[in-house]
Chain A
């Protein structure tokens, strides 16, 4: 992964695979730390799976035998002095929290957060993606549901909507 925003997309994709219909993405920038939390209401995992989940040779998929999403996230967080926490229980969804020390020289760049989040929102019409971004004291929130309410039947995945949402997020960030 070249930047942190790619991790957001990647971990959120796990949530979608887990059958979630609600995915909360929270980014909290406080001083020199970034706390990235992705919470879903998907199928969750048992304690044994949670323990093994950052092992690259652990995956629930059957198309191949490796799963690199969480191991990469863990590596990139830990090399800045941060950490990754996974909390999950079967039937109760999963929360992945990653802490990065953005001032560390080994911290990968933040990347294009606005375009990542807009693709996440518009690319998954069946899922209510809730985004919350906090920069010190300032908080910005948006959700797929809010956008869908306004769209009134127009598909959220229409390119015109995609470009609009991207520009709106860019303005806010």
Chain B
């Protein structure tokens, strides 16, 4: 059946990917994966977070950017959905609001690839009063 064929294809892709990732890890940038979290609660989904996430996965794949794209729950910024959190290697996480596909492409081009900040950042500190 095609399912078996498909999973075998996945094996081939894994070997290919493994070579590339380990090669990069041995170079100057260990831990070279960009981490992206897309807020995927009712508010986010209704505002189009799924399309944003889908777009980011497609775009990062076609531009061969090594990243991990995961989902997270509601961050409490329902007014600014879809929201995403981007953590560049060695940097603090940055939360962007109102990320439609256009904004997502800007974030990939400017922030993820060049480290340039773009508009739409939600000022967020991960320290609570108790921790200070």
A residues with CB within 8 A of B: 1-2, 6, 9-10, 13, 16-17, 61, 63-64, 67-69, 72, 112, 115-116, 119-120, 122-125, 140, 142, 146-147, 150-155, 157-164, 166, 168, 171-172
Chain B residues contacting A154 (CB-CB under 8 Å) are 14, 17-18, 21
* A147-B13 Cα distance, complex, nearest whole Å: 12
Known: A13-B40, A158-B17. A115 touches B10 (CB 8 A): no
B residues with CB within 8 A of A: 2-3, 6-7, 9-11, 13-14, 17-18, 21, 33, 38, 40-43, 45-46, 50, 53-54, 56-61, 65-71, 73-76, 78
Number of A-B contacts (CB under 8 A): 118
* A150-B8 Cα distance, complex, nearest whole Å: 9
Chain B residues contacting A10 (CB-CB under 8 Å) are 41-42, 45
Pick the 10 closest A-B CB pairs, nearest first. Answer: A123-B71, A63-B76, A157-B68, A159-B61, A159-B60, A162-B57, A69-B42, A163-B61, A168-B6, A159-B57
Provide 25 A-B residue pairs closer than 8 Å at the C-beta atoms, listed in order of the A residue.
Answer: A1-B46, A10-B42, A10-B45, A64-B78, A69-B42, A112-B54, A123-B40, A123-B71, A124-B70, A124-B71, A147-B10, A153-B18, A154-B18, A154-B21, A155-B68, A158-B67, A159-B57, A159-B69, A160-B61, A164-B13, A166-B57, A168-B9, A171-B2, A172-B3, A172-B6
- State the main secondary structure of chain A at its contact with B: helix
Chain B residues contacting A122 (CB-CB under 8 Å) are 57, 69
Chain B residues contacting A147 (CB-CB under 8 Å) are 7, 10
* A146-B8 Cα distance, complex, nearest whole Å: 12
- State the main secondary structure of chain B at its contact with A: helix
Chain A residues contacting B41 (CB-CB under 8 Å) are 10, 13, 69
The listed residue (A67, A157, A171) touching B69 by CB distance below 8 A is A157
B35 to chain A: closest residue by CB: A157
A61, B74: Cβ atoms under 8 Å? yes
| Residue among B3, B57, B73 having the largest count of chain A Cβ atoms under 10 Å | B57
* A157-B7 Cα distance, complex, nearest whole Å: 17
